[in-house]
Structure 1
Amino acid sequence: MDDTAWDTIDSLVRWLDQGSEVPDDTRVLLQLLKITEEAGEVAEAVIGATGTNPRKGFSHTWDDVRNELCDVIVTAMVALARLTPDAREVFAANLRRIAERSDQS
């Protein structure tokens, strides 16, 4: 992932923390919970895109699903940035580990 994305995440963290009176450890916990909230919105969008809720029918599109997935990714990146000052390196190392593990050649 390029540094531009992480620069944006760092900026979002600063913006979210600006003027907040919530203790740092509580911010991290709330951010971790926020990932679950966003994942629920992905599920809601998938159900809406497939029309499987008989009460709501086709209430979402696959574009909505894609947008909600991006919200999950950004929320998780913010959580990682709040959890460790080395978020970029931690993410890069884990991505390399996953890529190596998945290489079946």
Structure 2
Amino acid sequence: MTEQRTPPCDPDGLWSSIEDLWTWLDANRRHGGETGLVLRMLKLTEEVGEVAQAVIGATGQNPRKGVTHTWEDVQGELCDVVITALVALRTLTPDAAAVFGRHLAGVRARSLGPAGP
């Protein structure tokens, strides 16, 4: 799972950044093997929890705390979820960009119908 591949198309540097983050995390991990893999996947749960916390804070749903976050905070937390998910995918395969691209195309076709010309 450590082989590095260059994505076929990376105009905004998304996949290059994901690769850099994955490389850094892999070099600094405290646990390897299956434990490290499971912990990398569980990081997603932590990030999703932070989205929930930000939404509750943005809406003031906790009467003891009131409004503690903004919708911009929610945006940032959602970005963290996406980044964490892409790094987790990269942890499973060096072909993360291709795997994601194929999956996205399938979801798009299933939801919106075949893509036009």
TM-score (normalised: structure 2): 0.83
3-state secondary structure, aligned to 2:79: helix
Distance in 2, matches of 1:58 and 1:25, equals 40
Runs of 4+ residues deviating >3 angstroms = none
Q: Does 1:90 align with 2:99?
A: yes
Deviations 1:17-55 (A, max 9, x none): 224342133222111100010000000000000000011
Tell me which amino acid in the other structure corresponds to 2:63.
P
Give the TM-score normalised by structure 1: 0.92
Q: Are the equivalent residues in 1 in contact too, given 2:51–2:78 (CA < 8 A)?
A: yes
In 1, the alpha carbon distance for the partners of 2:55 and 2:28 equals: 36
Q: 1:47 maps to which residue?
A: 56
Instruction: Note the aligned Cα RMSD (angstroms).
Output: 1.5
Alignment gaps of 5+ in structure 2: 1-8
**Structure 1 stretch 60-69 or stretch 84-93: which is displaced more?**
84-93
Structure number with higher helix proportion: 1
Residue of 24, 30, 33 corresponding to 1:24: 33
The percent of aligned pairs where both chains have the same amino acid is 53
Q: Give the corresponding residue for 2:4.
A: none
CA distance in 2, matches of 1:20, 1:101: 38
